Amino acid sequence: MARLGETQLFAGLRLPGHLHTQQSLRAASAFPFRPSDVLLVTYPKSGTTWMQEILTLIYSKGDPEPAKSIPNWARAPWLEHTYFKEFLQETEGPRLFTTHLPWRVLATALRKAKPKVIYLARNPKDVAVSFYHFCRMANFFPDPGTFDDFLLCFLDGTVHYGSWFKHVKGWLSCQKEMNLFYVTYEELHQDLGGFLERLSAFLGCPLQPGQMEAIQEHSSFASMRENTMANYTLVPHEVMDPSKGQFMRKGIVGDWRNHFSPQQSALFDKVYQQEMGDCGLSFQGLMD
């Protein structure tokens, strides 16, 4: 498999060389968006795949067919990945894209067309746990070492994809300027129905009650875990090693409590306070 062990450096970020080249990253940063496009933005392990499934199901009005017959990376391709062009559709109407890139890299391209942006955040303690497990099974990341080693890199932003804190702050700084819909993984868990109403209104894609129920059913963790078009089991084992873990791991809120020592949690809270304390943004209990 190509470039599994390589790291690509771009705009001060380390990214997996298996999925990114300088060319693919430059193309992403200059992408000609259209106002009708929809861009899903996440820091890795924040529930990207869940949201891709929900978006697919909203546009299909609850019909599971597209979600069950087309891989998620073709339904909502990553702007910055090397294979992006393969999946780029020139059709009219909303095109769905995904990105993990920071706002500063995409700002110029997005300001030109102002597409709809959905920013999904997750409690960073749970992100760190999920990311750690993912780095152990996905061979396009360096070996994360112990959880303690990984956590220190996560806190100082030297992990692949950079600092969680900078990612969130950067994207939320453009909330007013851009047409940006902010939501958390925790809110999806708490009230998926209420969230679907708000998101479908934002997208201008109203849903009937039966359609809402179908979306909830087909985007559930249990359903997605069985869906080969969403659970990444189609990826060759030398790229994602199923003997080391599953992509659809637990899908719960608060798993950090099973991984963090009291010292690690205290250090995390301290760094969170330093980084986010005075940024003036409301995260609606993200760290509870």
Could you give the residue numbers annotated as active site? Answer: 100
CB of 91 to ligand A3P, least distance (A): 25
CB of 167 to ligand A3P, least distance (A): 12
Which C-beta is closer to ligand A3P: that of 35 or that of 194? 194
Cβ atoms 21, 99 nearer than 8 A: no
Q: 76 Cβ partners below 8 Å, 6+ apart?
A: 40, 52, 55, 56, 96, 97, 98
Residues in the chain: 288
Residues forming a β-bridge with 179? 116
Q: How far apart are the C-alpha atoms of 238 and 139, rounded to whole Å?
A: 7
Which C-beta is closer to ligand A3P: that of 24 or that of 98? 98
CB of 28 to ligand A3P, least distance (A): 18
Cβ-closest position to ligand A3P: 251
Query: Burial code of 245-263, b = ≥16 C-beta within 10 A, e = fewer?
Result: eebbbebebebbeebbeee
Which C-beta is closer to ligand A3P: that of 22 or that of 228? 228
> What is the binding site for ligand A3P (CB under 6 A)?
42, 44-50, 126, 130, 133, 219-221, 224, 248-251, 255
CB of 182 to ligand A3P, least distance (A): 16
| Tokens 């390589």, located at residue | 6
CB of 112 to ligand A3P, least distance (A): 27
Q: How far apart are the C-alpha atoms of 33 and 200, rounded to whole Å?
A: 21
Which C-beta is closer to ligand A3P: that of 278 or that of 288? 288
Which C-beta is closer to ligand A3P: that of 17 or that of 245? 245
Pairing of β 7-10 and β 13-16:
antiparallel
Q: How far apart are the C-alpha atoms of 170 and 43, rounded to whole Å?
A: 11
Q: Give, in order, the Cα–Cα distances in Å from 8 to each of 73, 127, 143, 161, 274.
A: 20, 22, 16, 10, 29
The CA-based angle 2-128-257, given to 5 degrees, is 145
